[in-house]
Chains A and B, each alone.
Chain A
Amino acid sequence: MAWRYVGAREADAPLILRLLAVWRHRRLLRRMAERDLRQRYAGAAVGYAWVAIYPLLLVAFYTAVFALVFRGRLAPGGSPQEYALYVVSGLLPWIAFSEVASRSTQAMAEQRSLVKFAVFPVQILPLTALYAAAITQMVGLVALLAFAAYVNGGLSTRVFLLIPVLVLQNVFFAGVAWLLGALGAVLRDVRELVSIALTLGMFLTPIFYVASDAPAPLRLVLALNPLTHLVSGYRAALLPAAPLSPESAVAFSLAAAVALVGGFWTFERTRVFLADIL
């Protein structure tokens, strides 16, 4: 079995070069992602705005329930605003993650005709979910920073920690998107599994509680969950009381690198069959 496309196929290049070549398709990625968004909100009166409205409402709702109804506090006698900031700074990356994970499982099937009938860099398809999530993130982040400034009475220089956190987050998400994009295309059941895993995962990530308060067996799960470390990065940047955790930074960097390479490798292994099985 052999193919030789002179100067026409990047698919024959080594994995690392193919990974770098994704950058060349950034314009196409943006166009596809915009198309995806417009298509999703075609006919809606406020259109694009739903991208931000839905997650913001979700964050407000969860925060209200946990801070006001369950009366959660970070420490006995702590302020409700402090707890609310804790929850919001955990929810925001979580919502972005769940959007990327659930949408990327369908990315290939939704663009079936491009996969089957066109010469198209299909590796960018799972990443369109990343783009949509990034828009949500921008809006959410502005709201989060404003909220943090209100609760803390200003922002510390720690805020700049968010820059590396966001970079690593997107690297991690890209790897997850490729992995789930490939698996979701091969086996439809993956989509259902992912939605179950996301429901569970929300409570297996320290969003509404503090990791150190969790019982011992759960603490192990939390330590192995990359999102625990992502969330702790957000908190280190926004909560003065939160500890800076170098272990978390290392763990998440590692997770991001493994996810990126592993996800892309899985995707590239699968892509040759995708056109035949979709």
Chain B
Amino acid sequence: MTAALSASPAASGPHVGTTSEEQPAISVRRVSKRFAVYQRQTDRLLELLSRRPRHRTFWALHDVSFDVSSGEIVGIIGRNGAGKTTLLRLLAGISPPTAGEIDVNHRLSVILELGSGFHPEFTGRENVLLGGAVLGMSDEEVRRKYDSIVEFAELGAYMDMPYKTYSLGMQARLAFAVAISVEPEILIIDEALAAGDSAFIAKCFERIRQICESGATVLFVSHNTYLVQRLCRRALWIEGGRLAGDGDPAIVCRDYEAVLRRHEQNAARALLDRRRFQDDQIDAVGPNTIVEPRSAGENPHQWGSGELRLTGVDLAGPGGAAQDVYYAGERLTIRLGYDGHAPYDDLACVVLVTRADGVAACGLDAAESGLRVPPLSGRGSFELALDPLVLGRGRYFLSPHIYRDRDGIGAASDVIVYHDRQYELRVERHGRPYDVAAEQPATWRHSTF
């Protein structure tokens, strides 16, 4: 049986990514950053003259500590304005911390803004020279690397055209190609990949991994939790200027998404409240089916209308007992116990299986396997057999959920119960430990003529 994962941000604690004898590549100790916000420019001048404060203070970062060791790929996630870019600017030495200490032990290359120093009127070729110089390379060094930069960016035919004629994706490619040509010991990338197409992103990932294998450290900032899970082995989550999570990307991203979802729900509820207020005027209040606010202390990864509870999610191997790991090719049984009252005839029951890097591995839908879910009342259980288990070796998370399948579209208000990535499944394979996506059953035949 798998225990519910309890990796709340508070519980995961500060991550120490270094062995005792090795100095971390980046060390951040209790760093805070305060900004003075002036309403008007005149206030700045008056404050300077009178020495009396005329500004509001704003803490962009508050008491943030972490270490990053050489060769790590660390993802940094967080909402807009959470303090991610401020943190990067402190790490890069562009702006000083108000309190705390930052140690950076290596040569940095920073892409905080795409193509810093690039100019739209100049050709791609000139911008490579300029951008390289801005990143601290000598002319000779840039010329030596020029061909490999152009090759990486795949812009050979466009290098003599003005940069402004490039598409956003092409601009991103060129800027990224220049930035990684620095051979940095620490590479910091802020949202730079967002404009690239998926093929280019895959290529960048490959290159970033190469850079890391040679001992360099990469900090990768993105809103895109999927990219972070694909690329990184560790994630930092900044929320409201504080470090809210640090550790396994799968867990940190799940927690982050839970907070995002709550904000969406709050926004939806606020909208509904406003509508209801307007509806009151014409005396026609519709049924309020939106998810009710959770009380504090409730698990943020479980939500729903509250009509039904999942009492247990049990896994069993071929012997009928729970195992630490399950083997591909063998039988896996998942039992979902429930309790409550949901007397609807349009219920759907699904278990979504997500790989640790964020890829949705499979969705197990009761209706699609031929089971019509009856109206549920009292206690009971579903049992689904995966026989044989064909998932590849790796770590997976199960998200069982029951919802009302009204229009074939899942709306937040239709969810009866949802446990988001709350159960872990480890899959191993017999034979050599290949990392593969699936263990496709296959039959070989050989013949000679």
Contacts and interface: CB of A to CB of B under 8 A. Distances in A.
A119 B41 contact: no
A113 B103 contact: no
B134 A118 contact: yes
B23 to A, nearest CB: 9
B94 A118 contact: yes
Interface of A: 1-9, 11, 27-28, 31-32, 35, 38-39, 42, 113-120, 187-189, 272, 275-276
B93 A3 contact: yes
Interface of B: 35, 41, 44-45, 89, 92-110, 112-113, 116-117, 119, 121-122, 129-130, 133-136, 138-139
Contacts of A272: 95-96
Give 6 closest A-B pairs by Cβ, nearest first.
A118-B116, A117-B113, A117-B112, A275-B95, A2-B101, A275-B94
B89 A275 contact: yes
Nearest to B92: A119
B104 A118 contact: no
Nearest to A12: B93
Nearest to B110: A119
Given A38-B121, A188-B41, A119 B93 contact: yes
B107 A8 contact: yes
Contacts of A116: 89, 94, 112-113
Contacts of B121: 38-39, 42
Contact of A27 (B104, B135, B138): B138
Contacts of A275: 89, 94-95
Contact of B93 (A5, A35, A187): A5
A127 B122 CA distance: 22
Given A6-B106, A31-B129, A31-B139, 9 more contacts: A1-B96, A3-B97, A5-B105, A27-B139, A42-B121, A113-B116, A116-B94, A117-B94, A119-B135
Given A114-B116, A119-B110, A120-B116, A6 B104 contact: yes
A120 B103 contact: no
A45 to B, nearest CB: 16
A35 B130 contact: yes
Contacts of A31: 129-130, 133, 139
Contacts of A28: 133-134
Contact of B98 (A1, A5, A118): A1
Contacts of B109: 119
Nearest to A42: B121
B94 A5 contact: no
Given A38-B121, A188-B41, A120 B96 contact: no
Contacts of B116: 113-114, 117-118, 120
A118 B112 contact: yes
